[in-house]
Structure 1
Amino acid sequence: MTGQTRDIEILHVEDNESDAFLTRMAFEDSAFKARLHVVVDGEAALNFLFRRDGFEDKPTPDIVLLDLNLPKLDGKQVLEQLKTAPDLRRIPVIILSSSRADQDIADSYDRHANGYITKPDEFGRMRGLVEAIEEFWFSAATLPGQP
């Protein structure tokens, strides 16, 4: 890990309680200094991102982990609104979905997802994913607003 001076803010949009728990445990088990914020539907995700309707005090996330199959608004709709918002479109969005459908993958990239990962179904693989996110997005890559 690089000389990270603050916790990384991660928005995890996930309606499946088991998947959200697995992800949270993987982040807690890693050395990655991240604060994980979880919302359970697409509407709440947009409220968090646009800081409205009870989310006014929430930070702008450094990265979004987004499921596709969500109640209210699906992940594709969230992605589309996020990537067309001038103040938010540069936030990296990683689709984290159980879907392996070619059409879901293509649609996600067409809507400017920065990556597409099929959800790991066991802890070791999820922890490896967390470490890969840290290594690539917060050690190797340079994001806007970071030195």
Structure 2
Amino acid sequence: MDKPAYTVLVAEDNPGDVLLVRRTLLKANFSHVLQIVVDGEAAIAYLAGEGDYADRARFPLPSLLLLDLKMPRKSGFDVLEWLQQQMVPRLAVVVLTTSTKNEDIERAYALGAKAYLVKPITLERFMKALETLELS
């Protein structure tokens, strides 16, 4: 059974990882609008609806944010800290990173991440994480 359509914002500076996320979502039969930003500053602008992302018809608020921690301009942690101060309705954040450091994992969860996945991710692990989220 297909899932309902929703918007996924991918904040990832590595084109290869973006491609893997796109393929994983396709394999999982998720109907979605996929939006890509390449750094934390653009992720914040998108979520705030500012600048190039002001048109919510073209750039709708996401239900899911797939967030890399290590990005240029602003990090994934900067984005998580910004989100804590905002009223972004029904946004689930899944961290996708290469970091296995306990302090990064603990900090991400403390800042509101709903799941923390270490790259490379498998379809099974990704699906298991998504199943625990209530996406709208």
Q: Do Structure 1 and Structure 2 share a fold, with TM-score over 0.5?
A: yes
Does 2:26 align with 1:25? no
Identify if the C-alpha distance between structure 1 residues 70 and 129 changes in structure 2 by more than 3 Å, giving closer, same or farther: same
Cα deviation for residue 89 of structure 1 reads: 5.9
SS in 2 for 1:10: strand
Deviation track 1:83-125 (CA, whole Å, cap 9, x = no partner) reads 2102x1641111111100011111111212111111225xxx1
Superposed, 1:1-147 pairs within 5 Å as 1=1, 4=4, 7-57=5-55, 58-86=59-87, 88=88, 90-120=90-120, 125=122, 127-137=123-133, 141=134
Deviates more, 1:30-39 or 1:60-69: 30-39
Q: Show structure 1 runs of 5+ residues with no match.
A: none
Contact 1:32 1:131 in 2 (8 A): no
Cα root mean square deviation, aligned = 1.9
Q: Which is richer in strand? A: 2
Amino acid of the structure 1 residue aligned with 2:24:
A
Contact preservation (8 Å) 1:9, 1:36: yes
Percent identity over the alignment is 33
Q: Secondary structure at the match of 1:95?
A: strand
Q: Which residue type is aligned with residue 52 of structure 1?
A: E
Instruction: Find the aligned partners of 1:3 and 1:79 in 2 and give their Cα distance.
Output: 26
How far off is 1:136 after superposition?
Answer: 3.0
Could you tell me how far apart the structure 1 residues matched to 2:3 and 2:14 are? 33
Q: Is the 8 A contact 1:32 1:134 kept in 2?
A: no
In 1, Cα distance between the equivalents of 2:125 and 2:47?
A: 23
Give aligned pairs, total: 133
Aligned partners of 1:82, 1:67: CA distance in 2, in Å?
15
Task: State whether residues 40 and 70 of structure 1, in contact with CA within 8 Å, keep that contact through their aligned partners in structure 2.
Answer: yes
TM-score (norm 2): 0.87
